[in-house]
């Protein structure tokens, strides 16, 4: 992710400046301390500013001393816990190092016969270059006028070469979703001809139901889930697939060591995080408040924005210009510049309420 590379360089520079007057924070010191030391606010990668929860941190600390052992017992136990959480079987779950691994494995699976993936434009793309390296190409179907997926347009684009339909719901970077019943019908129809991968990275922010019940009974429908977003564990790298047992088996065969990409410490964090639904609720509410704060600011500045159901907002910066993110960066605030719908946009992730106040003040100064 280019935004991340830039921010790493910036933090290195800023940390060096801090070192001139104090002790350099270590690379593995808590993220919050390092960024606070450097005075940096990260609103460019849709991370959860409140995570990991206290329960997840405690579980990780307790699991540390077990890191000399392979997580032979812990991963099956975590899968069982996730399965019970969703009311599915353990054989319906595959663990990965983030949902990115699940997206990659699915791409590899469908690429055994060369062809293309149909996806929305814009949508989440980070995994696309890996899929291309596997020999897949992409057909990108513009969003409908209301900025939701153009499901019928995507279906019309299907042909004998279509290997997979990818639907990110709610969609990154626009932050809105297609109605569950529409997506259900779409998945049922398209799965007769190809794999349908539904990326549910942000469903918890929207309070959206999962499509997992279709996936467990249909070998051509897959759900990708992550602990990186509302659970606040992006750095721990843990995600999973919910799918039909045959599909889970095929995906597992593509892993060098089935399910073991998740470490002992990370498995402990995920297990504690899943139990801590109070934290999830709190993050959802604080994120909602942060969005409202941003909307007020955009309205005051007459900036167009797309009302979001996620932890980020896409707002229009045609009036401000493409150097907006550089200007924000000069104020130690990282956001993502985007070109969509023939215009200039900024995608801002929701930080803490305090961070969002600083973002709004900086935006007002620049705009």
Ligand X SMILES: Cc1ncc(COP(=O)(O)O)c(C=O)c1O
Residues that bind ligand X (CB under 6 A): 46, 98-100, 124, 168, 172, 199, 201, 226, 228, 234, 239
CB of 234 to ligand X, least distance (A): 5
* Structure tokens that stand for 280 in this block: 């999830």
Closer to ligand X by Cβ: residue 100 or 191: 100
- In the bound state with ligand X, the residue whose beta carbon lies nearer, of 1 and 19, is 1
- Whether the CB-CB separation of 97 and 237 falls below 8 Å is answered with yes
- Edge to edge, the sheet with strand 195-199 lists 93-96, 239-242, 221-226, 195-199, 162-168, 116-121, 137-142
Nearest residue (CB) to ligand X, 15 versus 195 = 195
**For the CA atoms of the chain, what is the radius of gyration?**
21
Select 46 or 162, whichever has its Cβ closest to ligand X: 46
How far is residue 244's CA from residue 78's CA, in Å, rounded to a whole number? Answer: 18
Closest separation in Å from C-beta 60 to ligand X:
17
Decide whether 47 or 276 has the Cβ nearer to ligand X. 47
Whichever of 4 and 330 has its CB closer to ligand X, that residue is 4
Minimum distance from residue 17 beta carbon to ligand X (Å): 29
* Cβ 199 to ligand X shortest distance, Å: 5
CB of 124 to ligand X, least distance (A): 4
Residue with Cβ nearer ligand X (214 or 236): 236
Query: Closest CB to ligand X among 109 and 360?
Result: 109
Quick check: 282 and 87 in contact, CB under 8 A? no
| Distance in Å, CB of 141 to ligand X, minimum | 17
Nearest approach, Cβ of residue 171 and ligand X (Å): 8
Residue 258 CA to residue 36 CA, distance in Å, equals 38
Q: Which residue matches tokens 């956001």? A: 335
Output the residue with the shortest Cβ distance to ligand X. 98
Q: Which two tokens stand for residue 102?
A: 């699940």
Instruction: Kindly tell me the burial class for residue 65, based on how many C-beta atoms sit within 10 Å of its own C-beta (0-12, 13-18, 19 or more).
Output: exposed
Shortest distance in whole angstroms from residue 311 CB to ligand X = 9
DSSP 22: S
What is the end-to-end Cα distance of the chain in Å, rounded? 26
Nearest to 44 by CA among 305, 348, 314: 348
DSSP, collapsed to helix, strand or coil, labels residue 222 as: strand
E strands, 204-352, in order = 221-226, 239-242, 305-306, 312-316, 333-334, 336-340, 343-349
């Amino acid at each position: 992710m280019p935004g991340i590379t830039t921010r790493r360089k910036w933090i290195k520079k800023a940390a060096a400046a801090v070192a001139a007057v104090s002790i350099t924070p270590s690379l593995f010191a808590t993220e919050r301390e390092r960024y606070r030391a450097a005075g940096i606010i990260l609103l460019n990668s849709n991370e959860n500013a409140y995570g990991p929860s206290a329960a997840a941190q405690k579980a990780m600390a307790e699991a540390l001393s077990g890191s000399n052992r392979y997580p032979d017992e812990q991963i099956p136990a975590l899968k069982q816990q996730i399965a019970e959480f969703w009311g599915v079987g353990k054989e319906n779950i595959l663990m990965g190092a983030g949902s990115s691994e699940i997206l990659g494995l699915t791409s590899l699976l469908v690429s055994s016969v060369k062809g293309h993936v149909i996806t929305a434009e814009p949508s989440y793309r980070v995994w696309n270059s890996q899929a291309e390296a596997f020999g897949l190409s992409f057909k990108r179907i513009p969003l409908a006028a209301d900025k939701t997926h153009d499901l019928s347009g995507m279906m019309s684009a299907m042909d004998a070469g279509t290997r997979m339909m990818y639907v990110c719901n709610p969609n990154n970077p626009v932050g809105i979703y297609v109605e569950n019943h529409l997506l259900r019908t779409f998945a049922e129809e398209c799965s007769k001809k190809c794999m349908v991968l539904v990326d549910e990275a942000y469903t918890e922010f929207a309070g959206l139901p999962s499509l997992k019940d279709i996936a467990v009974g249909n070998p051509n429908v897959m759900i990708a889930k992550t602990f990186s977003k509302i659970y606040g564990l992006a750095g721990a790298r843990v995600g999973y697939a919910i799918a039909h047992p045959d599909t889970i088996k095929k995906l597992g065969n593509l892993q060098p060591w089935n399910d073991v990409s998740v470490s002992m410490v990370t498995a402990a964090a995920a297990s504690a995080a899943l139990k801590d639904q109070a934290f999830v609720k709190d993050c959802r509410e604080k994120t909602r408040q942060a969005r409202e704060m941003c909307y007020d600011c955009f309205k005051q500045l007459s900036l167009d924005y797309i009302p979001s159901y996620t932890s980020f907002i896409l707002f229009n910066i045609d009036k401000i210009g493409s150097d907006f993110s550089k200007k924000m960066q000069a104020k130690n605030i990282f956001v993502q510049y985007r070109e969509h719908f023939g215009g200039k946009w900024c995608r801002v992730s929701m930080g803490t309420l305090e961070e969002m106040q600083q973002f709004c003040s900086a935006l007002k100064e620049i705009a």
